[in-house]
Structure 1
Amino acid sequence: MTAVLRAGPVSLRVHPRAVVVAVALLVATFAISVLALTTGDYPLSVPDVLKTLAGDGPPGADFVVTTLRLPRLLTGLFVGAALAVSGGILQSISGNALGSPDVIGFTQGSAVGAFFVILVLDGGMFATSVGALVGGLVTAAVLYLLSYRGGVLGLRLILMGIGVSALLLAVNSYLITRASLQDAIVAQSWRVGGLNGREWEHVTVSGVTVAVLLPVALLLGRRLSLLELGDDKARALGVRTEQTRLALLVVSVLLAAFAVAVAGPIAFLALAAPQVARRLSGSAGPALLTTALTGAFLLVASDFVVQRVFASRLPVGVVTGALGGLYLAWLLVHQWRRRV
């Protein structure tokens, strides 16, 4: 069931189920965020956290909240949303549930650029972001050219991406072997993907990325839904299919590149979050806003499990990789059974 809200010449189509799911995700994300800020080796109450944010907290709370917990939490929210929307766009463009920046090589390309800056140039956060951006864009350009045959073919994009991803993974491994032991340990830890030790500079990069690119993705979301109908129908409805697809591809790459620069190539989140969001909202379209909320919740919840259940500095990418691997296996079996 769909409700249409009208205000003069402007109309807005609202799906009640999607609204309910979005509100539920907001509540769940808020709840897990409160738990992340108040629990741990130094437990705090909610009033203590609020007082600390206002500059009047108990002794020691300022360091725990504003230096350790809050930057990690905010980075997780922004990176989760960015990766999820990036995956949602790619899955919609390719028409394939395997369309994800970590499956088709975008995150590996960004990782190559970031590794080069970290291991060769010894750059900081800003330089690493630029390196990841350049690596992701170059990878996207190569894949676009390899997949273009009068238009970008979804299956061809997936297959080419898997091959390019394997090649870039080898390049990353080579860069690590050529680094010093200390740099190699740091790079390998970053390669898994995680939120340990994240600071306010990471929050700034990921926050600005989401604030700028998420509205653009949402504005292009209607065209993305039309592209899923097929190029002929989309053109008949006034959509410039290839230009729109290219613009969406650039937005997806930028979201993935900056997320990788901030938190490393966190595995399978971009693959699973869009599919979970579609099933929760019952939407036939990409549902990018619900996808962003789902990605943010999944990453923060996974990181909370790592911190409180395992009580270790285990990178959150290990948890998302394990769960995402199981989800990928289920997805492949499910699709195979549908075709049999």
Structure 2
Amino acid sequence: MTSLSPAPPARPSAAPEAPPSIAPELPRQRRAGGRRLAGVCVVLAGAVLLLGVGAITQGVPDVGVRFALDAAAGTVGDDVTGYLVRHNRLPRVVAALLCGAALGGIGVLLQDSLRNPIAEPGLLGVAHGASLVVTLQVLFGVSLPGMARPTACLLGGLAAGALLLAVNRRITDPVRLVLTGFALATLFSAVISAALVLAPSTGGQTQATVNRYLSGSLSGLTWPEVRILLLWVGAGLPVALLLGRVLNLLQLGDDTAAGLGVHVGRTRLGLLVLAMVLLAPVVAVAGPLSFVGLLAAHLARGLLGSSDSRQVLPVAVLAGALVTLAADQLGRLAFEPLEIPAGIWTVLVGGPLAIVVATRAAARRRAAR
């Protein structure tokens, strides 16, 4: 009889290898992204500073950083050169920086909240709705106090935005959105043209002023206009810079954002209102500086290599300031003594970019089908 010996113990199987953790990579990626963001901001801020000093001092006898700093402090004296710098060049440079910073933030707010790469106030007809208010006010001699004009522009821009949203239920369709915006811009331009014809005759100077304003000009801006910009942009831009996380969630799609706790409808409406608040003072003092928001937002994404709105927003603000200041400087010096409004230069550069971006977006949609 054979004895049953106990079976040898089974050899323990080797434990499965744990998948490599990606947790250590996240802090490294965050640090790399932070260094890239800091580097891009430093470069853009340096370019803004150098171009700003050049815009102040170029064309006056005493050039240099020291002169610009003395002029800013009001200690340069009361001679003709000092007056030119303090009351002509310096407010114009500060206004260009504030307008560009606001438009750069608007570009990111609109593109990310609408998930549309070519969303921009000039393309959506919103800037034309706001500028219509100023045009009618100038042509018909309606006197508005300093703070009333941006408020009127805000109402005009909100009315145009409400009309745009009423027509476009699917606001993420870039082609339909731009076509509707173009139609609205054409409609508002037709009303402006009719107003130019029907307005009481006040001489050619008024119509020349309106035409220069509609081209997006920073010429002749003074410190009262700069104070208006400081008040509105200083209140709205910090709020926009804090909304990067919300914009990131909206980029994931409405259903995903809603699942993560975002009330999509109210949030998108609030972001559009904030964009209009930032746009109102710009249109009130400088006219429709078209395509600055489009240029700044895409320049920021290209420099960062990222679509993270928390990083794109501050870079777009700096890029918008640089683009606007460069356009104004180019318009002032390219055909001196003639002056080309900054808005014409931004359209010449931003128009082809809008075509390229729209073509790529259409190609991506076709590939996704």
TM-score when scaled to structure 2?
Answer: 0.83
Structure 2 residue aligned with 1:8: none
Structure 2 residue aligned with 1:284: 307
**Partners in 2 of 1:78 and 1:140 — Cα distance?**
23
Structure 1 residue aligned with 2:251: 228
Structure 2 residue aligned with 1:104: 124
- 8 Å CA contact 2:97–2:322 kept in 1: the answer is yes
- From 153, 177, 180, the equivalent of 1:160 is 180
- 8 Å CA contact 1:52–1:61 kept in 2: the answer is no
- Matched ranges for 1:193-212 at <5 A: 193-212=216-235
CA gap of 1:12–1:243, structure 2 versus 1, over 3 A, is: farther
**Partners in 2 of 1:307 and 1:211 — Cα distance?**
27
- 8 Å CA contact 1:193–1:266 kept in 2: the answer is yes
1:264 is aligned to 2:299: no
SS at match of 2:122: coil
Structure 1 residue aligned with 2:91: 71
1:115 is aligned to 2:141: no
1:135 is aligned to 2:156: yes
Give 1:246's aligned amino acid. Answer: L
Note the residue ranges of structure 2 that are not aligned, 5 or more in a row: 1-24
The Cα of 1:71 is off from its aligned counterpart by 0.4
**Partners in 2 of 1:72 and 1:32 — Cα distance?**
13
Structure 2 residue aligned with 1:309: 334
The Cα of 1:42 is off from its aligned counterpart by 4.0
CA gap of 1:86–1:144, structure 2 versus 1, over 3 A, is: same
The Cα of 1:157 is off from its aligned counterpart by 3.7
SS at match of 2:76: coil
- 8 Å CA contact 2:158–2:273 kept in 1: the answer is yes
**Partners in 2 of 1:293 and 1:162 — Cα distance?**
28
SS at match of 2:147: helix
**Partners in 2 of 1:146 and 1:304 — Cα distance?**
39
The Cα of 1:139 is off from its aligned counterpart by 1.1
Q: What are the Cα deviations for residues 107-142 of structure 1, in whole angstroms up to 9, with x where unaligned? A: 000011111222224324433323211111111122
1:251 is aligned to 2:274: yes
The Cα of 1:154 is off from its aligned counterpart by 4.2
- Matched ranges for 1:18-29 at <5 A: 18-29=37-48
- 8 Å CA contact 2:74–2:86 kept in 1: the answer is no
SS at match of 1:15: helix
**Partners in 1 of 2:27 and 2:314 — Cα distance?**
18
**Partners in 2 of 1:230 and 1:332 — Cα distance?**
20
CA gap of 1:165–1:53, structure 2 versus 1, over 3 A, is: closer
1:238 is aligned to 2:261: yes
Q: What are the Cα deviations for residues 49-90 of structure 1, in whole angstroms up to 9, with x where unaligned? A: 323333332533331221011100000000011112112211
**Partners in 1 of 2:207 and 2:222 — Cα distance?**
21
- From 345, 348, 352, the equivalent of 1:319 is 345
**Partners in 1 of 2:61 and 2:346 — Cα distance?**
26
CA gap of 1:307–1:337, structure 2 versus 1, over 3 A, is: same
Give 2:318's aligned amino acid. Answer: L
TM-score when scaled to structure 1?
Answer: 0.90
**Partners in 2 of 1:281 and 1:34 — Cα distance?**
26
Give 2:166's aligned amino acid. Answer: L
1:329 is aligned to 2:355: yes
SS at match of 2:123: coil
- 8 Å CA contact 1:87–1:99 kept in 2: the answer is yes
Percent identity over paired residues: 34
- 8 Å CA contact 1:48–1:57 kept in 2: the answer is yes
**Partners in 1 of 2:134 and 2:26 — Cα distance?**
44
**Partners in 1 of 2:256 and 2:363 — Cα distance?**
29
Structure 1 residue aligned with 2:324: 299
Q: Which moved more, 1:157-166 or 1:29-38?
A: 157-166
Q: What are the Cα deviations for residues 296-339 of structure 1, in whole angstroms up to 9, with x where unaligned? A: 00110111122233323221112111112232233344445555
**Partners in 1 of 2:268 and 2:74 — Cα distance?**
47
CA gap of 1:145–1:332, structure 2 versus 1, over 3 A, is: closer
**Partners in 1 of 2:26 and 2:189 — Cα distance?**
45
1:91 is aligned to 2:76: no
- 8 Å CA contact 2:116–2:172 kept in 1: the answer is no
Q: Which moved more, 1:155-164 or 1:270-279?
A: 155-164
Note the residue ranges of structure 1 that are not aligned, 5 or more in a row: 6-10
